[in-house]
Structure 1
Amino acid sequence: MSRLRRCALIIAALSLTACGTQEESVEPLPGGVVDYQLGGAYEPDEDVTIVVRDRTDEPDSSRYSICYVNAFQTQPDEREDLARSRPEVLLTGPGGPVYDPDWPDEQLFDLSTPELRSKVLELVEPWIAGCAEDGFEAIEADNLDAWTRSQGLYTRGDAEAFADDLAALAHEHGLAIGQKNAVEVDGPSLGFDFAVTEECAVFDECRTFSDLYDEDVIEIEYTDNGREAFAEACRDRYDDHPITLRDRELLPAGEEGHVVETC
């Protein structure tokens, strides 16, 4: 065997060893009870084992903490700054900026080309790094399904390509990553470690997520759908994965209208 070939094999082996060590550093989703706190951080009940908070909040140091990152759209309070400083990453069509119709202050990121996806990843990377530095164990990457709102300006394939890069980036920072909704997407094939599904009982999507992720699913149901969906979820899946009922606004504890129940 030539010296060059031997060196190449040694480098390859070292690379595989490094990758294996890196994967081991990603802490898997534990079982238990989830409190979904995107509307503001507060002290959860004693039985809570997993807390989900916005990336601008501190993690719960005594529980498995998931960092919410709006990875495919702008946050309402950041859109104007991005329009001035990084306009190239924002999706614009013939009619102007493309917004989420349900969240009209959130403009979609432009994922239509590899070059633009790279620019968006550069934007998102410090957010993910910040989650790791703050002590979160995982991230929840929201709005994977934004391609359905892109007015055809980018495709599901574009979104999946970006998601694949996003998952790799999270793992590089030692973080697990959760797929948010988008039941059409085979998240594990893109590197996602768990799923966060909203209203899967209402939309009859729970079984699909369970088939993809087994018990590594966080199910969130909302009070404005009535109690039937939550009751059905608890009856049918109480021992499959964590199920949490929240008020739609995800209000902090102590505010009028705050609801959090689990089963």
Structure 2
Amino acid sequence: MPSLPGRISRGTVAAALLIGSSACTFGAAGPVESAPLPSPHSQVADVPLPAPHAGFDYQIGGPYQPPAGVQVVSRDHSAPAASGLYNICYVNAFQVQPGAEKEWGDLVLRDDDGTVVMDPDWNEALLDSRTADKRSRIADKVGAWIDECAGKGYQAIEPDNYDSFTRSQGLLSARNAQDLVKLLSERAHGKGLAIGQKNTSELASSRAANGLDFAVAEECGQQDNCAEYTRYFGDRVIVIEYTEDGLRTACAKWGNTLSVVRRDRDVTPKGDSAYVRESC
């Protein structure tokens, strides 16, 4: 079944706005950045990056024909890439899809009583990234999806639930999350793919050390914390809002520099009665 969006960022540290600039070009896979941004936004790896301020559509709930003007699209790893666009491949990398716990065995996080630690909002079990062995095994399984994405013609990876440590009952740490995302970054870059930081603005300052190339920020307009991402990612930030107020704020403050879209919260495909898509 299609993956669902993760939690909004819990970062609360105020950050100054530093917007980087770069030249862009349009290739066969859609717009990509043709030159690295200056420090502190320097390109982490020699991989194609989504162009800043490109038309974006978030299709992780199911693929459909992208609307006119869309140049960058994010889809679930089970879906085909969209022809002629820059494609971002969504993988649930830090939690387990509902009902799939048995597929992960001892990699599912349990508390001292042996109870599976769940994300209550999405009914997803958390993955246990506390040891190097378990992180390696998680990365191998997620890495198979990354390889699949590369084979389908995607240009980037969006590993969701990077912030799962914040709802782990204190069992996981930010260091655990970063050590795992480094493994995923190495796998993605080894396949020639960029990798985005999903939410978790409190770790944005370590984006270069963690090998992260751009950011996907849910509701930073609603939370008024988009600057926590742009400080470290420059204009390589994709903003997804789920409310009219969030879209209004994001467009007013960032509509001229960042990719901004509003979707319905379940990210339903076009044609569904719940479908919503708006942009600046």
TM-score (norm 2): 0.80
Verify the 8 A CA contact 1:188 1:213 in the aligned structure 2: no
* Match in the other structure for 2:10: none
In the alignment, structure 1 segments of 5+ residues that lack a partner are 1-21
Q: CA deviation at 1:211?
A: 0.8
In 2, Cα distance between the equivalents of 1:170 and 1:205?
27
Q: Deviations over 1:96-125 (max 9, x none)?
A: 011112111x11111011111111111111
Verify the 8 A CA contact 1:65 1:136 in the aligned structure 2: yes
In 2, Cα distance between the equivalents of 1:135 and 1:253?
23
In 1, Cα distance between the equivalents of 2:233 and 2:45?
17
* Match in the other structure for 1:190: 210
- Name which structure has the greater RCO, CA cutoff 8 Å, separation 6+: 2
Q: Deviations over 1:51-96 (max 9, x none)?
A: 100001111021000000111011125334x1xxx41211111240
2:91 is aligned with 1:38:
no
* Match in the other structure for 2:15: none
2:256 is aligned with 1:239:
yes
Rg larger in 1 or in 2? 1
Amino acid paired to 2:109: L
Runs of 4+ in structure 1 off by over 6 angstroms are none
* Match in the other structure for 1:257: 274
Verify the 8 A CA contact 2:222 2:247 in the aligned structure 1: no
Verify the 8 A CA contact 1:197 1:218 in the aligned structure 2: yes
Aligned-residue identity in percent: 40
Give 2:116's match in structure 1, choosing from 97, 104, 117.
97
Partner-residue secondary structure (3-state), 2:134: helix
Q: How does 1:145-160 map to 2 (within 5 A)?
A: 145-160=163-178
Q: How does 1:54-93 map to 2 (within 5 A)?
A: 54-80=76-102, 82=103, 86-93=104-111
Amino acid paired to 2:214: F
In 1, Cα distance between the equivalents of 2:45 and 2:260?
27
Q: CA deviation at 1:189?
A: 2.5
In the alignment, structure 2 segments of 5+ residues that lack a partner are 1-43
2:185 is aligned with 1:167:
yes
Q: CA RMSD in A?
A: 1.4
Q: Deviations over 1:134-155 (max 9, x none)?
A: 1100010100000111112121
In 1, Cα distance between the equivalents of 2:193 and 2:146?
8
* Match in the other structure for 2:48: 27
* Match in the other structure for 2:75: 53
Bigger drift between 147-156 and 58-67 goes to 147-156
